[in-house]
Amino acid sequence: MIKEFTVKKLKFTCLAFSMLFLIHMIIHTVSMKKILIIIVSSLSITVSADDKDWVNLYNGKDLSGWQTTGNWLPQKDGTLLIQPRPGEKGWQRYGAYLWSKKKYKDFILHVEYKYPEGGNSGVFFRVGDLEDPVQKGIEAQILDSTKKKGKIGPHDHGGIIRTVGATKNMSKPPGKWNKMIVKCKKHHLKVELNGEEIVNIHLDKTPMKDRPLEGYIGLQDHGEPNNLHFRNIKIKEL
């Protein structure tokens, strides 16, 4: 009788312990879920707030907010194509570049693009004089550098023309979308290409030290046969 009572008591104790453990796990799991929900919600709010700071420079429909004499063609899929007209060759046709109507000082600029084989273009910023952007502005190079061997220089993809080359060749093959992010804060310049930081310099310690700290943003028409597509052109002022 005593043995049977002891066994029953042991079973009851084990069952009670199991129930308490199960309740603890349920409470713990629910609490963790609540914590995760709160964290995710907070992140979502942060991202949403951050997204509101971005302004689309290209609306996907027309060239509102831009000025150019070049053949920049909005596409049905929301991208923008530069297709130089027959006979339009060379890069010294500054009016054919696509220029913002507004000047920008400190900002983060986001641009996506794809080039054909050997394609050439550029992202200009802080251009003080549209008639002389090479001397009165800064250019981050767009170039099909996928076949480039060895060290890449200022005139290769992602480099700052006449200043510094990218630390790494992050070029995607022709026909694939590249993403460039340019961040300017006073004299500090950073460039990110396809998820990798490739430029991090202080302009006042480079040949660009006398360039304007405020100016227009532009995309280069490099002339035939450089047909490039652009999309998601947006900016966040700092």
Residues 61-119 have pLDDT tens digits of 999 999 999 999 999 999 999 999 999 999 999 999 999 999 999 999 999 999 999 99
d(CA 27, CA 238): 44
3-state helix, strand, coil in the chain (%, to 5): 25, 35, 45
Burial class (CB in 10 A: 0-12, 13-18, 19+), 46: exposed
Mean pLDDT along residues 224-235: 97
pLDDT band for position 7 (50/70/90)? very low
With vertex at residue 91, the alpha carbon angle to CA 96 and CA 220, rounded to the nearest 5 degrees, is 55
pLDDT in tens, 160-205: 999 999 999 999 999 999 999 999 999 999 999 999 999 999 999 9
pLDDT of 47 = 36
The model's confidence at residue 35, banded by pLDDT at 50, 70 and 90, is very low
Query: Is the predicted pLDDT of residue 3 greater than 50, yes or no?
Result: no
Q: With 60 as the cut, is the pLDDT of residue 21 above it?
A: no
Mean pLDDT of 208-222: 97
CA distance 210 to 201: 15
Is this structure's pTM higher than 0.75? yes
Does residue 57 carry a pLDDT above 90? yes
**Which spans in 66-214 are helix H?**
none
Q: How many CA atoms lie within 13 A of 171 on its CB side?
A: 26
pLDDT score of 42: 43
Q: 29 pLDDT exceeds 90?
A: no
* CA pair distance 136, 226, nearest whole angstrom: 24
